[in-house]
Amino acid sequence: MKKILAVGCGGMAGSLLRAAVFQFVGAGIGLWLVNIIGSFFIGVAAARLINRSAETRLFVSTGLIGSFTSFSAFSADWFRLLESSLLTGMMYALGMTAASIVAAAFGLLAGRKGAVE
């Protein structure tokens, strides 16, 4: 039960943070921001939380970061773009995916560097 509560509490916080980003900068650029920032922090979390409790890892990774990022909104935007232009849709998908993977890699490196010092 503690694990479910950890995910739920983290999820509430992450979704509220995503809503705040969308409110501040708009949904279009906001989606890029939350997915890239979230990917960076999932990398940091993977490096830094390895020795923490399951509840802590679930709160941060699955709950907070998982609800902060939005694959479903990305998918919806992608399908909308594909309907208007195959090329635009594919560029969008490749760009978002590549940016998120690079951000996660930098986050993992940053998390490992911080763990050593």
DSSP string, 73-108: HHHHHHHHHHHH-HHHHHHHHHHHHHHHHHHHHHHH
CA dist 68 and 34 (Å) reads: 6
Mean pLDDT of 58-87: 93
pLDDT in tens, 17-68: 999 999 999 988 999 999 999 999 999 999 999 999 999 999 999 999 999 9
- HSE at residue 106, side-chain half, CA atoms within 13 A, is 11
> What six digits make up the tokens of 15?
């979704």
Q: What is the average pLDDT score of the chain?
A: 94
Is residue 114 predicted with pLDDT exceeding 90? Answer: no
Longest dimension (CA), the chain: 50
Known binding positions for Na(+): 66, 69
pLDDT at 13: 97
pTM value?
A: 0.90
Is residue 103 predicted with pLDDT exceeding 70? Answer: yes
Known binding positions: 66, 69
Q: How many other C-beta atoms can be found within 10 angstroms of the C-beta atom of residue 49?
A: 17
Confidence of residue 115 (pLDDT cuts 50, 70, 90): low
pLDDT at 27: 87
CA angle, residues 67, 73, 77, in degrees to nearest 5 = 160
Confidence of residue 9 (pLDDT cuts 50, 70, 90): very high
Q: Where are the domains of the chain?
A: 2-112
| Residue 70 contacts residue 16 (beta carbons within 8 Å) | no
Query: Would you give the DSSP letter of residue 65?
Result: I
